[in-house]
Amino acid sequence: MGLAIVTGASRGIGKSLALHLAERGHTVACLARSAGELEALAGSRSGLVAVPVDLTDAAATERVVRELLAEHGPCEVLVNNAGYGLRGAMEEVKLDRWRRQFEVNLFAPALVTQLVLPGMREARRGAIVNLSSVAGRISTPFSGAYASTKFALEAMTDALRIEVARYGIKVILVEPGPVATDFADVAHAESAELLARTGSPYHAGYLRLVESLKELHANDWTADDVARSTMHALDARRTPQRVACYGALLRVGLLLSTFTPRLMDVVLARRTGA
């Protein structure tokens, strides 16, 4: 087994996937901003390499990935997992916050993918896993900034899958629903000041959003559930295009959004108070 690269590997789904890949015998480069958490992870078992980097810094990201490829050879598995949520009404989320969200959730995976593809093509094998979200299929009120990055990631992945299939490269989209990680807490922290603005015309909706998210997260998958589903997809003889990691309620929501979009609007407006 050769090199695997996992972004956002310091916690949650990325951490679980890094551990699973190391168990398979890969040398796993764990990329994230948190040096302390990465060092602790790398010290927990052999095969894990801590690579602290801010993925919004394109020059630094390119440098560390090129160094990894030079040292370990072509990447065999790339997991683009790094990402975070941002909440707020379209009218109130500042554009600089949107831009940073796109830098982390879309442009960073695009860059790392571009860097590993030449080696994968030459070897005529490899796998690229992009962590999207059910928000890449359904955009809900007050999550437009986050959902737009995931819709874009899904479009990029769909194109990539067809482009590289002839070179023996697998491309998989993983779409988690609510997962028991600190993702929701980080999203709330990123958006807390805006959601707490009592003078906002959307304040009542923000309050209802917070309550509805508590209900939604009552039956979360775990990070390891998502990791195991992803590993199963990597092993499958016929590689799935998408791996859905959510339950029946969200599956019904997808059907409603596809076949009865007006009804879905009504459901979402009532649920979120929009």
> Would you give the DSSP letter of residue 274?
-
User: Among residues 84, 146, 202, 206, which one is catalytic?
Assistant: 146
Residue 213 to residue 215: CA distance in whole angstroms: 5
- Our answer to whether residue 146 is catalytic in this structure is yes
Q: Which of 229, 234, 258, 232 is nearest to 244 (CA)?
A: 229
- The arrangement of strands across the sheet holding 3-7 comes to 48-52, 27-32, 3-7, 75-80, 126-131, 169-176, 242-245
Burial zone of 241 (CB within 10 Å; 0-12 exposed, 13-18 middle, 19+ buried): exposed
Handedness of CA 196, 198, 203, 208 (dihedral sign): positive
Q: How far apart are the first and last CA of the chain?
A: 50
Residue 56 to residue 118: CA distance in whole angstroms: 22
Beta bridge partners of 173: 130, 242
Strand residue runs (E) in the chain: 3-7, 27-32, 48-52, 75-80, 126-131, 169-176, 242-245
Dihedral (Cα; 199, 262, 218, 21), 10-degree rounding = -110
Q: Which of 142, 128, 148 is nearest to 212 (CA)?
A: 142
Catalytic residues: 146
